[in-house]
Structure 1
Amino acid sequence: MFVFLLALLIIWPIAELFVMIQVANWIGFFWMLFLLFASAVAGILILRHRGRAHWRRFRGAIDERRPPAKEAFDGVMITSGALLLIIPGFITSAIGLFLLFPPTRWLVRLVALTLFASKFKVAATTATWSNRGYNYYRSSRTTSYDFEGEAVDVTDRPDGAPQPQLRSGSESSEDQIDRNT
Protein backbone atom coordinates (compact mmCIF):
# COMPACT_ATOMS: atom_id res chain seq x y z
CA MET A 1 0.00 0.00 0.00
CA PHE A 2 2.86 2.36 0.85
CA VAL A 3 4.53 1.67 -2.51
CA PHE A 4 1.24 2.35 -4.30
CA LEU A 5 0.78 5.69 -2.54
CA LEU A 6 4.39 6.66 -3.18
CA ALA A 7 4.05 5.80 -6.87
CA LEU A 8 0.80 7.74 -7.03
CA LEU A 9 2.40 10.82 -5.47
CA ILE A 10 5.23 10.66 -8.00
CA ILE A 11 3.28 9.70 -11.12
CA TRP A 12 0.23 11.94 -10.57
CA PRO A 13 2.00 15.34 -10.81
CA ILE A 14 4.01 14.13 -13.80
CA ALA A 15 0.80 13.06 -15.56
CA GLU A 16 -0.90 16.37 -14.71
CA LEU A 17 2.08 18.32 -16.04
CA PHE A 18 2.14 16.25 -19.21
CA VAL A 19 -1.58 16.89 -19.83
CA MET A 20 -1.14 20.63 -19.13
CA ILE A 21 1.68 20.83 -21.67
CA GLN A 22 -0.41 19.00 -24.26
CA VAL A 23 -3.43 21.26 -23.68
CA ALA A 24 -1.20 24.37 -23.82
CA ASN A 25 0.23 23.19 -27.15
CA TRP A 26 -3.26 22.52 -28.47
CA ILE A 27 -5.16 25.68 -27.38
CA GLY A 28 -2.43 28.01 -26.16
CA PHE A 29 -0.81 28.77 -22.83
CA PHE A 30 -3.15 31.58 -21.73
CA TRP A 31 -6.28 29.62 -22.63
CA MET A 32 -4.92 26.72 -20.58
CA LEU A 33 -4.40 29.05 -17.61
CA PHE A 34 -7.89 30.46 -18.12
CA LEU A 35 -9.39 26.93 -18.05
CA LEU A 36 -7.51 26.06 -14.87
CA PHE A 37 -8.64 29.32 -13.23
CA ALA A 38 -12.25 28.81 -14.39
CA SER A 39 -12.17 25.26 -13.03
CA ALA A 40 -10.99 26.52 -9.63
CA VAL A 41 -13.66 29.23 -9.50
CA ALA A 42 -16.35 26.72 -10.49
CA GLY A 43 -15.15 24.37 -7.75
CA ILE A 44 -15.36 27.11 -5.14
CA LEU A 45 -18.88 28.11 -6.23
CA ILE A 46 -20.07 24.51 -6.32
CA LEU A 47 -18.58 23.87 -2.90
CA ARG A 48 -20.40 26.87 -1.45
CA HIS A 49 -23.77 26.27 -3.09
CA ARG A 50 -24.06 22.49 -3.27
CA GLY A 51 -22.27 21.92 0.03
CA ARG A 52 -24.86 23.93 1.90
CA ALA A 53 -27.73 22.28 0.01
CA HIS A 54 -26.50 18.80 0.87
CA TRP A 55 -25.92 19.76 4.46
CA ARG A 56 -29.59 20.83 4.63
CA ARG A 57 -30.66 17.52 3.06
CA PHE A 58 -28.51 15.62 5.54
CA ARG A 59 -30.04 17.49 8.50
CA GLY A 60 -33.51 16.99 7.00
CA ALA A 61 -32.98 13.24 6.85
CA ILE A 62 -31.93 13.21 10.48
CA ASP A 63 -34.91 15.36 11.46
CA GLU A 64 -37.21 12.94 9.60
CA ARG A 65 -35.65 10.10 11.61
CA ARG A 66 -34.40 8.16 8.61
CA PRO A 67 -30.86 6.99 7.89
CA PRO A 68 -28.95 9.75 6.07
CA ALA A 69 -26.61 7.35 4.22
CA LYS A 70 -27.47 8.53 0.69
CA GLU A 71 -27.27 12.19 1.67
CA ALA A 72 -23.95 11.67 3.45
CA PHE A 73 -22.45 9.81 0.49
CA ASP A 74 -23.68 12.40 -1.99
CA GLY A 75 -22.32 15.17 0.20
CA VAL A 76 -18.90 13.52 0.34
CA MET A 77 -18.90 12.99 -3.44
CA ILE A 78 -19.92 16.58 -4.19
CA THR A 79 -17.38 17.98 -1.73
CA SER A 80 -14.66 15.75 -3.18
CA GLY A 81 -15.61 16.70 -6.72
CA ALA A 82 -15.58 20.41 -5.92
CA LEU A 83 -12.21 20.12 -4.19
CA LEU A 84 -10.79 18.25 -7.19
CA LEU A 85 -12.00 21.08 -9.42
CA ILE A 86 -10.19 23.59 -7.22
CA ILE A 87 -6.88 21.70 -7.47
CA PRO A 88 -5.11 22.83 -10.66
CA GLY A 89 -4.93 20.10 -13.25
CA PHE A 90 -7.04 18.62 -16.00
CA ILE A 91 -7.02 15.04 -14.70
CA THR A 92 -8.21 16.12 -11.25
CA SER A 93 -10.83 18.36 -12.87
CA ALA A 94 -12.10 15.46 -15.00
CA ILE A 95 -12.39 13.24 -11.92
CA GLY A 96 -14.08 16.10 -10.05
CA LEU A 97 -16.66 16.53 -12.82
CA PHE A 98 -17.21 12.77 -12.81
CA LEU A 99 -18.04 12.92 -9.09
CA LEU A 100 -20.36 15.92 -9.47
CA PHE A 101 -22.89 14.52 -11.95
CA PRO A 102 -25.73 12.48 -10.37
CA PRO A 103 -25.65 9.53 -12.85
CA THR A 104 -21.93 9.02 -12.37
CA ARG A 105 -22.29 9.56 -8.62
CA TRP A 106 -24.78 6.70 -8.61
CA LEU A 107 -22.20 4.56 -10.40
CA VAL A 108 -19.50 5.51 -7.87
CA ARG A 109 -21.90 4.68 -5.01
CA LEU A 110 -22.61 1.28 -6.54
CA VAL A 111 -18.92 0.49 -7.00
CA ALA A 112 -18.08 1.70 -3.48
CA LEU A 113 -20.82 -0.42 -1.94
CA THR A 114 -19.68 -3.55 -3.74
CA LEU A 115 -16.01 -2.97 -2.88
CA PHE A 116 -16.58 -2.21 0.80
CA ALA A 117 -19.59 -4.44 1.49
CA SER A 118 -17.53 -7.25 2.95
CA LYS A 119 -15.62 -4.90 5.26
CA PHE A 120 -18.75 -3.28 6.65
CA LYS A 121 -20.96 -6.36 6.78
CA VAL A 122 -20.34 -6.99 10.48
CA ALA A 123 -21.02 -3.38 11.42
CA ALA A 124 -24.16 -3.27 9.29
CA THR A 125 -25.62 -6.36 10.93
CA THR A 126 -25.03 -5.12 14.47
CA ALA A 127 -26.29 -1.56 14.03
CA THR A 128 -29.97 -0.75 13.97
CA TRP A 129 -31.93 2.26 12.80
CA SER A 130 -35.54 2.85 13.63
CA ASN A 131 -38.02 5.63 13.12
CA ARG A 132 -37.01 6.99 16.51
CA GLY A 133 -33.26 7.07 15.91
CA TYR A 134 -30.15 4.95 16.03
CA ASN A 135 -30.33 2.01 18.47
CA TYR A 136 -33.60 3.29 19.97
CA TYR A 137 -35.02 -0.16 20.63
CA ARG A 138 -31.78 -1.44 22.12
CA SER A 139 -31.68 1.41 24.61
CA SER A 140 -35.40 1.19 25.39
CA ARG A 141 -35.17 -2.46 26.47
CA THR A 142 -33.30 -1.62 29.64
CA THR A 143 -35.47 -2.19 32.67
CA SER A 144 -35.64 0.56 35.21
CA TYR A 145 -38.14 1.00 37.98
CA ASP A 146 -39.12 4.22 39.65
CA PHE A 147 -40.62 3.89 43.10
CA GLU A 148 -41.91 6.70 45.22
CA GLY A 149 -41.29 6.32 48.91
CA GLU A 150 -38.53 6.03 51.42
CA ALA A 151 -36.49 3.04 52.52
CA VAL A 152 -36.41 2.03 56.17
CA ASP A 153 -33.63 -0.18 57.49
CA VAL A 154 -35.07 -2.59 60.05
CA THR A 155 -32.11 -4.91 60.45
CA ASP A 156 -30.34 -2.88 63.18
CA ARG A 157 -33.25 -3.07 65.68
CA PRO A 158 -32.74 -4.74 69.03
CA ASP A 159 -34.81 -7.83 69.67
CA GLY A 160 -38.34 -7.03 70.60
CA ALA A 161 -38.32 -3.46 69.29
CA PRO A 162 -41.52 -2.56 67.49
CA GLN A 163 -41.47 -2.07 63.73
CA PRO A 164 -41.84 1.55 62.66
CA GLN A 165 -45.08 2.36 60.98
CA LEU A 166 -44.99 5.04 58.35
CA ARG A 167 -48.03 7.18 57.81
CA SER A 168 -48.68 9.50 54.95
CA GLY A 169 -48.76 13.11 55.92
CA SER A 170 -46.56 16.10 56.38
CA GLU A 171 -44.21 14.41 58.86
CA SER A 172 -40.93 13.14 57.56
CA SER A 173 -40.15 9.46 57.90
CA GLU A 174 -37.41 10.16 60.47
CA ASP A 175 -39.94 11.92 62.74
CA GLN A 176 -42.33 9.00 62.37
CA ILE A 177 -39.63 6.43 63.16
CA ASP A 178 -38.39 8.38 66.20
CA ARG A 179 -41.92 8.71 67.54
CA ASN A 180 -42.60 4.97 67.10
CA THR A 181 -39.44 3.78 68.88
Structure 2
Amino acid sequence: MATSRLPRTLQPTLNRLAAQTQAAFSAVVRDGDECVIVARSAGVAEPVRHLAYGLHLGARLPAHATSTGRVLLASLPKTEFAAWLKGRELARITPQTEVNATRFKALIAQVRQDDHCLARDGHELGIHALAVPLRNMQGQTLAALNVVGTAEQLSDPAVQRQWLPLLLEAARELRPLL
Protein backbone atom coordinates (compact mmCIF):
# COMPACT_ATOMS: atom_id res chain seq x y z
CA MET A 1 0.00 0.00 0.00
CA ALA A 2 2.73 2.49 0.92
CA THR A 3 4.26 2.10 -2.56
CA SER A 4 1.09 2.78 -4.55
CA ARG A 5 0.64 6.10 -6.33
CA LEU A 6 -1.94 7.76 -4.05
CA PRO A 7 0.01 7.39 -0.77
CA ARG A 8 3.23 8.51 -2.48
CA THR A 9 1.44 11.57 -3.84
CA LEU A 10 -0.16 12.50 -0.52
CA GLN A 11 2.64 11.77 1.95
CA PRO A 12 4.75 14.92 1.36
CA THR A 13 1.72 17.14 1.99
CA LEU A 14 0.82 15.26 5.18
CA ASN A 15 4.42 15.52 6.36
CA ARG A 16 4.42 19.27 5.70
CA LEU A 17 1.11 19.78 7.53
CA ALA A 18 2.31 17.78 10.53
CA ALA A 19 5.62 19.65 10.69
CA GLN A 20 3.83 22.98 10.36
CA THR A 21 1.18 22.32 13.03
CA GLN A 22 2.51 19.46 15.19
CA ALA A 23 -0.86 17.72 14.66
CA ALA A 24 -1.80 14.30 13.25
CA PHE A 25 -3.07 14.07 9.66
CA SER A 26 -4.38 11.10 7.69
CA ALA A 27 -5.52 10.38 4.15
CA VAL A 28 -8.17 7.72 3.83
CA VAL A 29 -9.99 5.78 1.10
CA ARG A 30 -13.27 3.90 1.44
CA ASP A 31 -13.44 0.13 1.10
CA GLY A 32 -17.08 -0.93 1.51
CA ASP A 33 -18.15 -0.37 5.12
CA GLU A 34 -14.70 0.73 6.17
CA CYS A 35 -12.12 3.39 5.54
CA VAL A 36 -8.45 2.54 5.17
CA ILE A 37 -5.66 4.91 6.17
CA VAL A 38 -3.33 5.11 3.15
CA ALA A 39 -1.07 7.94 4.35
CA ARG A 40 -0.41 9.36 7.78
CA SER A 41 1.86 11.85 9.46
CA ALA A 42 2.07 13.27 12.98
CA GLY A 43 4.11 16.13 14.34
CA VAL A 44 6.85 15.34 16.84
CA ALA A 45 4.78 16.89 19.64
CA GLU A 46 1.78 14.70 18.80
CA PRO A 47 0.97 12.40 21.72
CA VAL A 48 1.73 8.75 21.07
CA ARG A 49 -1.73 8.05 22.51
CA HIS A 50 -3.32 8.98 19.17
CA LEU A 51 -1.29 6.30 17.43
CA ALA A 52 -2.38 3.63 19.90
CA TYR A 53 -6.07 3.78 18.96
CA GLY A 54 -6.03 2.43 15.42
CA LEU A 55 -4.75 5.51 13.63
CA HIS A 56 -1.87 3.77 11.89
CA LEU A 57 -1.12 3.17 8.23
CA GLY A 58 -3.41 0.46 6.87
CA ALA A 59 -5.88 0.72 9.76
CA ARG A 60 -9.47 -0.08 8.85
CA LEU A 61 -12.04 2.16 10.52
CA PRO A 62 -15.86 2.10 10.34
CA ALA A 63 -16.95 4.56 7.65
CA HIS A 64 -20.07 5.72 9.47
CA ALA A 65 -18.21 6.68 12.66
CA THR A 66 -15.31 8.72 11.25
CA SER A 67 -14.95 12.16 9.70
CA THR A 68 -13.20 10.73 6.65
CA GLY A 69 -15.77 8.00 6.19
CA ARG A 70 -18.61 10.49 6.34
CA VAL A 71 -16.90 12.73 3.77
CA LEU A 72 -16.41 9.75 1.47
CA LEU A 73 -20.01 8.59 1.94
CA ALA A 74 -21.22 12.14 1.23
CA SER A 75 -19.30 12.07 -2.05
CA LEU A 76 -21.39 9.16 -3.33
CA PRO A 77 -24.34 9.91 -5.60
CA LYS A 78 -27.49 10.07 -3.45
CA THR A 79 -28.91 6.85 -4.90
CA GLU A 80 -25.64 5.01 -4.29
CA PHE A 81 -25.50 6.28 -0.71
CA ALA A 82 -29.14 5.25 -0.17
CA ALA A 83 -28.27 1.74 -1.42
CA TRP A 84 -25.21 1.66 0.89
CA LEU A 85 -27.35 2.65 3.90
CA LYS A 86 -30.39 0.47 3.13
CA GLY A 87 -30.74 -2.33 5.66
CA ARG A 88 -27.34 -1.54 7.18
CA GLU A 89 -26.90 -1.70 10.92
CA LEU A 90 -24.69 1.18 12.05
CA ALA A 91 -22.58 -0.15 14.90
CA ARG A 92 -22.36 1.92 18.07
CA ILE A 93 -18.64 2.47 18.67
CA THR A 94 -19.07 5.08 21.42
CA PRO A 95 -22.17 6.61 23.07
CA GLN A 96 -21.80 9.47 20.54
CA THR A 97 -21.81 7.29 17.40
CA GLU A 98 -24.89 8.00 15.29
CA VAL A 99 -26.70 4.70 14.72
CA ASN A 100 -30.16 5.90 13.68
CA ALA A 101 -30.41 5.59 9.89
CA THR A 102 -32.69 8.62 9.46
CA ARG A 103 -30.45 10.89 11.52
CA PHE A 104 -27.36 9.46 9.82
CA LYS A 105 -28.84 10.21 6.41
CA ALA A 106 -29.44 13.82 7.54
CA LEU A 107 -25.88 14.00 8.89
CA ILE A 108 -24.47 12.90 5.52
CA ALA A 109 -26.71 15.42 3.72
CA GLN A 110 -25.20 18.14 5.94
CA VAL A 111 -21.66 16.92 5.21
CA ARG A 112 -22.49 16.97 1.48
CA GLN A 113 -23.71 20.56 1.81
CA ASP A 114 -20.79 21.75 4.00
CA ASP A 115 -18.18 19.82 1.98
CA HIS A 116 -16.39 18.88 5.21
CA CYS A 117 -17.11 16.94 8.39
CA LEU A 118 -16.25 17.54 12.02
CA ALA A 119 -16.77 14.27 13.90
CA ARG A 120 -16.92 14.51 17.68
CA ASP A 121 -16.35 11.40 19.79
CA GLY A 122 -17.97 9.14 17.17
CA HIS A 123 -15.09 6.71 16.88
CA GLU A 124 -13.19 7.38 20.09
CA LEU A 125 -14.22 9.37 23.16
CA GLY A 126 -12.24 12.56 23.61
CA ILE A 127 -11.09 12.60 19.99
CA HIS A 128 -12.41 14.92 17.31
CA ALA A 129 -11.51 14.85 13.63
CA LEU A 130 -12.08 17.28 10.79
CA ALA A 131 -12.08 15.95 7.21
CA VAL A 132 -12.33 17.35 3.70
CA PRO A 133 -12.61 15.51 0.37
CA LEU A 134 -9.59 15.10 -1.90
CA ARG A 135 -10.78 15.45 -5.49
CA ASN A 136 -9.04 15.06 -8.82
CA MET A 137 -9.34 17.61 -11.63
CA GLN A 138 -12.51 15.87 -12.87
CA GLY A 139 -14.18 16.48 -9.50
CA GLN A 140 -14.13 12.83 -8.39
CA THR A 141 -13.49 12.30 -4.69
CA LEU A 142 -10.60 9.83 -4.44
CA ALA A 143 -9.83 10.11 -0.74
CA ALA A 144 -10.43 12.23 2.35
CA LEU A 145 -7.89 14.22 4.34
CA ASN A 146 -8.30 14.79 8.05
CA VAL A 147 -6.70 16.23 11.14
CA VAL A 148 -7.22 14.45 14.45
CA GLY A 149 -7.07 16.05 17.86
CA THR A 150 -8.76 16.70 21.17
CA ALA A 151 -11.98 18.64 21.69
CA GLU A 152 -9.90 21.64 22.73
CA GLN A 153 -7.67 21.46 19.64
CA LEU A 154 -10.66 21.12 17.31
CA SER A 155 -13.10 23.52 18.96
CA ASP A 156 -15.58 25.24 16.62
CA PRO A 157 -13.62 28.55 16.60
CA ALA A 158 -10.32 26.73 15.95
CA VAL A 159 -11.90 24.73 13.13
CA GLN A 160 -13.16 27.84 11.37
CA ARG A 161 -10.07 29.94 12.00
CA GLN A 162 -7.23 27.45 11.59
CA TRP A 163 -7.97 23.86 10.63
CA LEU A 164 -10.60 24.08 7.90
CA PRO A 165 -8.67 26.70 5.85
CA LEU A 166 -5.50 24.61 6.24
CA LEU A 167 -7.18 21.40 5.03
CA LEU A 168 -8.99 23.14 2.16
CA GLU A 169 -5.74 24.71 0.96
CA ALA A 170 -3.98 21.33 1.09
CA ALA A 171 -6.86 19.77 -0.91
CA ARG A 172 -6.55 22.55 -3.53
CA GLU A 173 -2.79 21.98 -3.77
CA LEU A 174 -3.24 18.23 -4.19
CA ARG A 175 -6.05 18.38 -6.76
CA PRO A 176 -3.86 18.66 -9.89
CA LEU A 177 -1.70 15.79 -8.62
CA LEU A 178 -4.57 13.34 -8.13
TM range (shorter): under 0.3
Higher helix share: 1
TM-score where L is the length of structure 1 = 0.21
Higher strand share: 2
Q: Which has the larger radius of gyration?
A: 1
Q: Which has the higher contact order (CA 8 A, sep 6+)?
A: 2
